[in-house]
Amino acid sequence: MKPNSIAVFNSNDTYPVSADSVLPFEQQRDIFYLTGVDQEETILLLFPDAVDLKMRQILFVRETNDHIAVWEGAKLSKNQATERSGIETIFWLQDFDRILGQLSAFNDTFYFNTNEHYRQAVETQTREDRFIKKCKELYPAHGVAKSNPILQKLRAVKTAEEIAQIQTACDITEKGFRRLLGVVKPGVWEYEIEAELCHEFLRNRSKGFAYTPIIASGNNANVLHYTENKAQCKAGALILLDVAAEYGNYKSDLTRTIPVSGEFTERQKAVYNAVLRVKNEATKLLVPGTIWKEYHKEVGALMTSELLGLGLLDKADVQNQDPEWPAYKKYFMHGTSHHIGLDTHDYGLLHLPMEANMVFTVEPGIYIPAESFGVRLEDDVVVQAQGSPINLMGNIPIEVDEIEGLMRGVN
């Protein structure tokens, strides 16, 4: 941070649905990352150059009382907030404006925590947005700067504790996947599979799905973000399952494709194994120094070779392709990898080289609407300082023989 600067981080709002109902609270991930506090109406203030050492890190939390304790459950006391966050200086939320006003006389710059993720498309005004607007009005002579670039670098490289949390989320996901293999058969409904997963995730101390689950049978698999999960699974079809658990706000991200009838046809198996080969080779490319954009070009070349082998592309398709939209994208139109952590599509500046302890998904796919099926396979891997990445989902079945055996009830 620049000298004499203050950074402020706000929790998320609790969002209304209608009447007196609200959506379940989800903490803003940056303030959770910095404090470990998972409570609404929380503000973190950082002032590294404050003359009074006690004012260099301040946490503001909602004051609890007997009424709140009865109706909602007690909120953090000041001592509990310190225990949770490691921050010694705790104030009640109603003191924030006063404290900020006092400190503003000694700072020159405010760091605002704007959302600058490359996928963001948020239209809702947040507590952060309202604070920024108010702060600019109250302190027009102060300079402004951005917290997000700093957080993008910090959060992209995971600590050992963070990787352990993601591993636990992956382990819970494994339990859910193994459970559903025993219930999938012709006639099962996509939402019944979703229910089995939800049951297993919750009973293993996950809050539930890390993201909206995709349970796409047959041609539904060719809709990349299919989330209706309301179709009946037919004999002979495949089911694309993009489903995973969270744990302690850390996410996992799994995709598997399985046969409704318990066995792949020869064509399905050929496409499946092509995707698996691309996934395995792409994983080897996730090493320190790799540039995300160049990585995807290499994966595109791997996929092109497999599509030629499957007869989905011919040499003329490749020779005449548009460099801006290569021929392989007719059947594999999305990216291969993204950061994962506190967010499913986590922080990370994609123009910077990959580093050890970054965690990425690897998720190639082939989608063939004309044949009414699609295949995607996805694991979560940790970049290592030396050697191949560690696959956090290495115990989750993925080979054709193992999946078919498990669906037949053979361990």
Please tell me the predicted confidence (pLDDT) of residue 71: 85
CATH number of the CATH domain containing 369: 3.90.230.10
Q: What is this structure's pTM?
A: 0.96
Tell me what the mean pLDDT of segment 376-383 comes to: 98
Q: Kindly state whether residues 332 and 354 are assigned to the same domain.
A: yes
Q: Kindly state whether residues 141 and 290 are assigned to the same domain.
A: no
Q: Kindly state whether residues 230 and 321 are assigned to the same domain.
A: yes
Domain boundary residue among 155, 181, 203?
155
Mean pLDDT over each residue of the chain, to the nearest integer: 96
Least confident of 21-25, 88-92, 201-205: 21-25
Q: Kindly state whether residues 198 and 133 are assigned to the same domain.
A: no
Looking up tokens 């006391």 gives: 77
Model confidence pLDDT, tens digit, residues 336-349 = 999 999 999 999 99
Beta bridge partners of 7: 46, 111
Please tell me the predicted confidence (pLDDT) of residue 68: 84
> At residue 375, does pLDDT exceed 90?
yes
Virtual CA dihedral for 400, 403, 407, 408, nearest 10 degrees? 60
Model confidence pLDDT, tens digit, residues 136-148 = 999 999 999 999 9
Q: Kindly state whether residues 198 and 168 are assigned to the same domain.
A: yes
Q: What range does the domain containing 174 cover?
A: 157-407
Strand, coil or helix: 31: helix
Domain boundary residue among 126, 155, 184?
155
Domain boundary residue among 137, 155, 173?
155
Q: Kindly state whether residues 223 and 140 are assigned to the same domain.
A: no
How many structural domains comprise the chain? 2
Q: Kindly state whether residues 83 and 229 are assigned to the same domain.
A: no
Strand, coil or helix: 40: coil
Q: Kindly state whether residues 108 and 148 are assigned to the same domain.
A: yes
Please tell me the predicted confidence (pLDDT) of residue 122: 84
Residue 254 backbone phi and psi in degrees, to 5: -120, 140
> At residue 411, does pLDDT exceed 80?
no
Tell me what the mean pLDDT of segment 349-356 comes to: 96
Sign of CA dihedral 318, 320, 324, 328: negative
Q: Kindly state whether residues 79 and 195 are assigned to the same domain.
A: no
Q: 213 with 230: CB under 8 angstroms?
A: no
Alpha-carbon distance values, 42 to 6, 34, 209 (Å): 16, 12, 25
Q: Kindly state whether residues 318 and 356 are assigned to the same domain.
A: yes
> At residue 258, does pLDDT exceed 80?
yes
CATH number of the CATH domain containing 20: 3.40.350.10
Q: Kindly state whether residues 253 and 292 are assigned to the same domain.
A: yes
Q: Is 372 left (phi over 0), alpha (psi -120 to 50) or beta?
A: left
Tell me what the mean pLDDT of segment 192-206 comes to: 98
Model confidence pLDDT, tens digit, residues 34-76 = 999 999 999 999 999 999 999 999 999 999 888 888 888 889 9
Q: Kindly state whether residues 50 and 123 are assigned to the same domain.
A: yes
